[in-house]
Structure 1
Amino acid sequence: MKRIWIYSLVLLALLPAAGCNKWLDVLPENQQVTDLYWQDKEEAEAVLGAAYVRFRGTLQHQLIWGEARGNGLALLGSVPASIFRLKQFEILPNNEWAQWSGFYEVINYANMVIKYAPEVVARDPSFSQPVMQSLLSEAYFLRGLCYFILVRNFREVPLITEPYMNDLYTFDVAKSAEAEIYQQIITDLETAIPASKEVWPQVWENKGRATKWAIYALLADVYLWTEQYEQAIAACDRVLQSGWVGLIDGVVNNRNHWFTMFSEGNSNESIFELQFDFARQQTNDMTQWFGTGPYTWIISPLMVEQFNLSAEDIRGNGASYNATTFRLWKYLGAEANTTVPRPNNDQNWILYRMADIYLMKAEALIMLGESHYAEALTLVNRIRQRAGISVPLGVGSSELEMLDIVLNERALEFLGEGKRWYDILRVAKRNQYQYKEYLISQVLLGVQGGSAPVIRSKLLNENSHYLPIHIDELLSNRLLEQNPYYDNVN
């Protein structure tokens, strides 16, 4: 299996991606690539491996989409105009960060596996039905994950569940409604669960491939966004009771053990993270984005203030960030509370870990009513206790106050992990934007300079909370319509 994942990079150049049919240059017109491919188990595994590799290539989009519009990070240096405009809510349809093609390439690979892998069972005796179903489970997970990222950023996107294989498949697909996309995500994840693996043979697989616990973690997140709180709690409980992942200790033998989630990666707390390995030439640019590049992401002054509220917090100076440079040490350092840098740029990117499960469950409990506030606070205080904070928080007096407690804790625990904007947006849009003012106030806390009144006026329009569809997509797909806020934007 390892060789499949190594040559998946080559496969990316050979297999058709969404919107690309270069293979037709070497095959007779409209001859299916499946006529020559999908002959054995290794080829099915290779396509799935290519989906993971391509998803790894979306890392910078995951970071920027999840953080640029939030208040946890600031920018230092020669900031590209495209990122600056996104952060200022001035993004235009020709902005590179409005491009979604990378995620649709992953979706297309997943669609290929879902459609064609079952046919391989009859061709390859070594490809058993259970193994095939396990591959399908991973494909459904990846497709659901990509659509979840897309729907939170664009609200409405084309919902494509068939692979783009040749010119007979139309590339003109209209956007689907937000509710329809969420329903497809839930259907995909529920379909993925029965055949999913509880554990893989190797550590990197346990954390870098879809497991039952990764699927439940994603499903809990989706249920929070769709305001299905009892289902979110049930999904969280499946992970909490799994016995395969757990909340690691904050300090072990006077060492900041929390920091090892980032310096070493693939900790017992991890549920799903993108895998990088310098020895296999699988690297990323996180060292540049957070440390050595012409511009870098640094901790915001707001978050420095939040960490300074508790000198006991082991996640603060020397762990999440460096108080001298304000750079994110969690991605740059080899050891907490030192100046020793990482030797290589192969940091893993964590999408879900156990602390997320605790805090997602806490948020869902709050939404069930005041009688659940104490239980929710117990979960929050458990995360704070792990961080070394000895004084527990008291119960808030209102739903919004309790939600703010959870989101503040998430901001500290997940600094720079691509979650902050989504957290603010999720709470704000709940109950038909009951807390829109909360979103505005939180965004403005991270705004520096005199642009706050302009940004406030933009954020009053709920359509501004989503990205425009890139002009290239509008030109290539005649059925696409621009998102409302950008209809009259040049």
Structure 2
Amino acid sequence: MKKYIITIIALATVFYSCTDDMNVVSEDDDVLSADALFSTPQGYQKALAGVYGNLSLTGTQGPIYSSLEGLAAGTSQYVRCLLNLQELTTDEMIWSYENDEGTAELQRNIWTAANPVILGMYSRTMASVAYANDFLRESTPEKLRRRNITDAATVAEIELYRKEVRVLRAYAYYNMMDLFGKAAMYTENDPLNFAGPEYNRKQLFDFIESELKAVLPDLKPARTNVYGRVDQSMARMILAKIYLNAQVYTQTDRYSDCITMCNEIIAGGYTLKPKYLENFMADNHTSEEMIFTIQSDGVLTQNWGGTTFLINGQIGEWENNAADFGITGWTGALRIRKQFVQKFDGTKFSQDDRNTIGTGVEGNSSKQRTIDIADISVKTQGYIISKFSNKTSAGVNGKNRDFADTDFPLFRLADVYLMYAEATLRGGNGTIAQSLVYVNSLRERANNNATTANITASELNLQFIIDERARELHWEGHRRQDLIRFGLYTGGTYNWSWKGNAARGISIPTFRRLFPIPQGSLGANKNLTQNTGY
């Protein structure tokens, strides 16, 4: 089987334990009682698919359907919400259709607690917590014995499922810690309809770290699990991320711990995909660089988020024909802001594979784009990129022209190399020599193995790292977090087009380093408090 396909045959009615706190409820009709779903080992596989599937799907009944009450499918798909919050609010992305609910506020940095996209991210993420907790409740040794599931190999396999689910729950709380700075805490030990206590960032950090450390030894080693499922490297990647950002989250220095995690991930057998853009094609599940992806299948996981959102969105008004990317396409939705374009200024980037920036139709002066975006609604203002594709590396279209087969690269090796270099520069116990090897390997990969764009030790500094992360990882859901860590997101040290709702960009207040807790969630759980500024 090419992928661990996350079709959800049934989402059990048991999957709703924290929906009161989200102010949403599951509306899926295709449900089974807990006893019916979990009566066989196959039922546990289906339920596990449901926990994973929450990251890919909006519901069980097609792309226009959301399983979360009160949320449209387009504002509740996990990857699309992640990109809207981590990319649309920065210098890397802008959305043309500002009548789409919530998008104008996000890309102009003027959002409120009523923003529907923020609610979508909050709700989808807390749904992951709910699904994980219910799986853990229903898969205890006692429940297995009661259901006459006693075969030793089956019991051991379900125990592995439990470890993977705990990682997925930790990942959900990592998102809550990063985006909202707090969350209601729920575990499988809490009763249904329980109002979880509010955990602050330090408490969430400690929970995530302890959970991942507890399960890590029992997870499958790197690259040995079924594709698309959690292994030790996924757990280490989350740990590396929280350690790199620990100064933001808990005001503590964990850079050496980040380097330890990076070293262990690198030792897991990952290598850079020789051609950069093949990481973003319909057969990217074969990439030896991928640590964890969110799966897409043009037939089985149809939704208007994920890489379908990216591939369709990047199609220009005139150029890069949709057919060239294996998709039908809707044009002019996504563009890039001037400040991101400038990251590729200079002759060093003229042959860089990561530089897919389009400026208009070559040789046609009447169809040339402007680098500045004076009016967001004018889809020919602002440059575009051509990073993602629904074609395979052999040029074959994905199986469906409307929905992409391309998996979303949540974590990949290139990010690990850059984290190692950054943590070293910030005082961690790595070496500059090794950092240069990692950074220059990315430069060489991007330049067809030529060393002409390589840097020297004197050029390796934090300003280089933040710019190189943009060049290497743009549109992969990292930019907001990176800018905050570098002190460049709020304030006026670094402005980008339409930052703060001004065409040339202005300072924004520090409270916008966090998103607000959605209004409905505050009303549903009186233990929750609003973030400062909202």
User: Would you say same fold, with TM above 0.5?
Assistant: yes
TM-score by length of 2: 0.75
Which amino acid is 1:345 matched to?
A: F
Tell me the residue number matched to 1:350: 409
1:159-198 equivalences under 5 Å are 159-162=185-188, 166=192, 169-170=193-194, 172-198=195-221
Tell me the residue number matched to 1:210: 230
Select the residue among 132, 142, 149 that pairs with 1:124: 149
Select the residue among 54, 58, 61 that pairs with 2:81: 61
Superposition deviation, residue 361 in structure 1:
0.9
Tell me the residue number matched to 1:154: 180
* Pair 1:334 & 2:391 matched: yes
Select the residue among 111, 116, 128 that pairs with 2:133: 111
Select the residue among 342, 346, 349 that pairs with 1:305: 342
Gap change, CA 1:369 and 1:85, over 3 Å in 2: same
Q: Which runs of 5+ in 2 are unaligned?
A: 57-76, 247-252, 316-328, 361-379
Superposition deviation, residue 210 in structure 1:
0.6
In the aligned structure 2, how far is the partner of 1:290 from the partner of 1:146?
28
Gap change, CA 1:78 and 1:438, over 3 Å in 2: closer
Tell me the residue number matched to 2:354: 315
TM-score by length of 1: 0.81
CA contact (8 A) 1:156 1:178 kept: yes
Q: Which structure features the higher share of helix residues? A: 1
* Pair 1:135 & 2:161 matched: yes
Superposition deviation, residue 115 in structure 1:
3.2
In the aligned structure 1, how far is the partner of 2:37 from the partner of 2:191?
12
CA contact (8 A) 2:245 2:485 kept: yes
CA contact (8 A) 1:299 1:327 kept: yes
Select the residue among 479, 483, 486 that pairs with 2:527: 479
CA contact (8 A) 2:103 2:117 kept: yes
Superposition deviation, residue 151 in structure 1:
0.9
In the aligned structure 2, how far is the partner of 1:6 from the partner of 1:356?
26
Which amino acid is 1:299 matched to?
A: I
Where 2:516 maps in the other structure, the secondary structure is coil
Tell me the residue number matched to 1:395: 457
Select the residue among 302, 314, 317 that pairs with 1:290: 314
Gap change, CA 1:36 and 1:22, over 3 Å in 2: farther
1:439-458 equivalences under 5 Å are 440-441=491-492, 444-447=495-498, 451=502, 455-456=506-507, 458=508
Tell me the residue number matched to 1:242: 268
Tell me the residue number matched to 1:254: none
Which amino acid is 2:215 matched to?
A: A
Q: Once the two structures are aligned, what percentage of the paired residues are identical?
A: 21
In the aligned structure 2, how far is the partner of 1:22 from the partner of 1:448?
35
Where 2:239 maps in the other structure, the secondary structure is helix
In the aligned structure 1, how far is the partner of 2:222 from the partner of 2:258?
22
In the aligned structure 1, how far is the partner of 2:289 from the partner of 2:3?
27
Gap change, CA 1:4 and 1:230, over 3 Å in 2: closer
CA contact (8 A) 1:236 1:361 kept: yes
CA contact (8 A) 1:118 1:132 kept: no
Gap change, CA 1:405 and 1:370, over 3 Å in 2: farther
Q: Which runs of 5+ in 1 are unaligned?
A: 27-31, 250-256, 429-436
